[in-house]
Amino acid sequence: MKIIQEQQGQTSSMSSALRLSIALAFGAFIMIGANDGALGVLLPGIGAHFNVNKATLGLLFLASTFGYLISSFNNGLLTEKLGDRLSLIIGTSLFLLGAGTVSLMLPFAVTLIAFFCIGMGIASIDAGLNSYIASLPRNTSLLNYLHAFYGVGAWLGPALASSLLAIRWGWNNIYLIWVGLSLVVLLGLGTIFRNTTVVQKNEARAEGNLMVETLKLRVVWLAALFLCFYVGTEVSLGSWSYSFLTEERHGSALFSGWIVSGYWLGLTLGRVLLGHVAQRIGNKRMIEGCLVGVVTGIALVWLAPSPIVSAIGLALTGFCLGPIFPTTIALMSTLVSSRVLPGAVGFLASLGSMGAALFPWLEGNLAQGIGLWSLLPFVVILTLCMLGLWVSLQRA
């Protein structure tokens, strides 16, 4: 009887530890989502402090994404050698180092290096926690929730940043908050996180040899380019819409920050709610409907310059953008063999991160050259490119 009670106690303890580890993963995704979502609100302050134009500010996106790419290409080897737990500790430490450096308001060149570190850290956290959650039971629903918590963070980030700016806190103080959050994540990784993912070394090497075969598939390139334009659309709109609302439309700083938060909230709700709709009507129809919804939302913002209509239009745009990325990843399992699927998904994520750097940078140059009014037609053009790639993907 004592043995049974001891086994039940151990099972209960393991379940509690597992729940705490999952909660920590969700919290870490809130942190990186808040960092991404707040950046658009902080850009005007960063530009004013360093006395740089919008095109130069766009280099921040390039630095962060370059760090993300460098890290993403090495995450597999790092996780294989060190395990999820230690690789996540390294990634969170890089995020902490970068955020702490930005908060010191050092010269712009140093800030670019700090954003490079933040990008590397986010890539490690992203890959490590996706790998960890994927190794657990009920991984499909848990992965959906994981990415929804990123959206929660991206929703909270602009609201928090605009509120602090409204009470005349400096833009750098937001990065002190990220330092505090990353310290909490580090503490959790050291005390409660459980390293449950087991990597088979022979299998890892075999998968590595499949990359060339994966890149020979036309469908992989089309899907990757589709997500490149998607992530570019999502990040461009999230990062520059605050500047558009305050400088081009002359909206109040606080209300504009809340409008941007509504965009990210819509993104989160779209991922939570429309995933169930996709199961009924199919992934392909879902994405086609979402693309139509994105154009509709942008048209509302463009044609009706009212703050209320802008809030509704951006929320609708975020709601329709939300499920596109996870739905495309899920669709890949029906388009390629299980043998090349891991490499294909990794390549899709990498090209998506390139879009996160390239297109916001391009919009920064457009804003500097012809004005922030270019944001909305720029996003419409990106969405039309997505539609063209989507049609090509269906014929592949």
Rg (CA), the chain: 21
Compute the average pLDDT of residues 338-362. Answer: 76
Residues in the chain: 396
Domains recognised in the chain with CATH numbers: 1-199 (1.20.1250.20), 207-396 (1.20.1250.20)
Average pLDDT, the chain: 82
Cα–Cα distance measured from residue 150 to residue 167, given in angstroms and rounded to the nearest whole number: 26
**Which residues have a Cβ under 8 Å from the Cβ of 131 and sit 6 or more positions away?**
79, 84, 197
User: What is the band of 338 on the pLDDT scale with cuts at 50, 70, 90?
Assistant: low
Name which of 390, 354, 382, 396 is nearest 68 in CA terms. Answer: 354
Assigned token pair, 377: 């037609």
User: What is the band of 9 on the pLDDT scale with cuts at 50, 70, 90?
Assistant: very low
The answer to which of 165-169, 191-195, 206-210, 344-348 has the lowest mean pLDDT is: 206-210
Instruction: Give the pLDDT of residue 79.
Output: 66
Rounded to the nearest 5°, which phi and psi values hold at 340? -105, 0
Cα–Cα distance measured from residue 118 to residue 319, given in angstroms and rounded to the nearest whole number: 27
Instruction: Give the pLDDT of residue 343.
Output: 64
Asked if the model's pLDDT at residue 77 lies above 80, the reply is no
In this prediction, what percent of the chain has a pLDDT beyond 70?
A: 84
3-state class of 223 per DSSP? helix
Which residue carries 């996106």 as its tokens? 61
Name which of 72, 63, 75 is nearest 39 in CA terms. Answer: 63
The answer to which of 62-66, 128-132, 202-206 has the lowest mean pLDDT is: 202-206
Name which of 152, 177, 156, 360 is nearest 258 in CA terms. Answer: 156
Contact call for residues 87 and 128 (beta carbons, < 8 A) = yes
Instruction: Give the pLDDT of residue 134.
Output: 63
Residue pLDDT, tens place only, 260-314 = 888 988 988 887 887 667 767 877 888 888 999 999 999 999 888 888 999 999 9
Cα–Cα distance measured from residue 112 to residue 98, given in angstroms and rounded to the nearest whole number: 9
Residue pLDDT, tens place only, 79-115 = 667 777 888 999 999 999 999 999 999 999 999 999 9
3-state class of 202 per DSSP? helix
Cα–Cα distance measured from residue 320 to residue 304, given in angstroms and rounded to the nearest whole number: 19
